[in-house]
Amino acid sequence: MPELPEVEVVRRGVSRWAAGRTVTDVEVLDARSTRRHDGGPVAFADALTGMTLAAPERRGKYLWIPLTGPEGSGTLAVVVHLGMSGQLLVNAPSDPDPKHLRIRIGLHAEQGEEPRELRFVDQRIFGGMFLAPLIPATDHPEQSLPAPVAHVARDPLDPWFEPEAVHQRLVRRRTGLKRALLDQTLVSGIGNIYADEALWQARLHFDRPTGTLDRTDTVGVLEAVTAVMAKALEQGGTSFDSLYVNVNGESGYFSRSLKVYGLAGQPCQRCGGPIVREKFMNRSSHFCPRCQRRQ
């Protein structure tokens, strides 16, 4: 389940292996993967073909690659969301098609090098790709982002991330803390796994009413989020030596450091009490009832 660190790993991989290349052809193998593109798969393929990929950018779990072309530069981007099971791969065209390949983007051979393919693979089709115009960010107009991503808040690894502003908005909410952490318009990049991990780190209960949090609580949990994400990035974003960009939520390349997620019944590493799993928002919350009291 790709969250911010996994998406950042993909961004770096795309930057290393696909940026600067020109799109030769586009094949949409499953139209559902371009459902968010106005005009559908054919319009998507037509508009993307012939464009050159600039350096990829990211906010939260959204990744986008600005496009340059004959009809204007930096006004359009191809936006990617991995959803639950999405992967972006850079392959040699001769590599066999993986199962669940949804979109194939052919990349022109560059200065003596071989052609490549940018591949979108997605088993469950919650993710997708679409083209969107780039617009100035409202808070920092020198920065641009795709229009459909404008509602997404800055993530904890963003240089312009403001914990104080998040605190102010968070305490005004009348909801539970984890609900708020998962709300991408409040703070982005956090999914179920890192929410549980950060809450354990900060010793806060997932359903703690946001109105009862003080500045120390909020900053504490945001710092925990940042720390957990930075650690995951350290472990997952190591090497791009080979021509293969991958993110796979199931691979669990940082699962070794998880403290609560998926560990129901296991002893808490802090107090030894059993980790509990509870139903929450059609999914589950993992926490230590002894370390993480509601009040």
- The footprint of DNA (CB under 7 A) covers 1, 3, 32, 35-36, 60-62, 81, 83-84, 99-100, 123-126, 148, 151, 172-176, 179, 182, 184, 191-193, 281-284
Output the smallest distance, CB 275 to DNA, in A. Answer: 13
* Residue 279 is among the residues annotated as catalytic for this protein: no
Identify which of residues 12 and 100 has a Cβ nearer to DNA in the complex: 100
Identify which of residues 151 and 256 has a Cβ nearer to DNA in the complex: 151
Output the smallest distance, CB 22 to DNA, in A. Answer: 28
Q: How far is CA 161 from CA 75, 136, 164, 187, 189, in A?
A: 24, 17, 9, 9, 12
Q: From CA 239, how far away is CA 255, in angstroms rounded?
A: 18
Catalytic residue among 11, 58, 61, 154: 61
Evaluate the CA torsion angle 118, 124, 129, 135 in order and state its sign: negative
* Residue 223 is among the residues annotated as catalytic for this protein: no
Catalytic residue among 99, 172, 174, 283: 283
Identify which of residues 37 and 116 has a Cβ nearer to DNA in the complex: 37
* Residue 2 is among the residues annotated as catalytic for this protein: yes
Q: Cβ(225)–Cβ(191) under 8 Å?
A: no
Output the smallest distance, CB 241 to DNA, in A. Answer: 29
Q: From CA 171, how far away is CA 57, in angstroms rounded?
A: 30
Identify which of residues 25 and 207 has a Cβ nearer to DNA in the complex: 207
Active site residues: 2-3, 61, 283
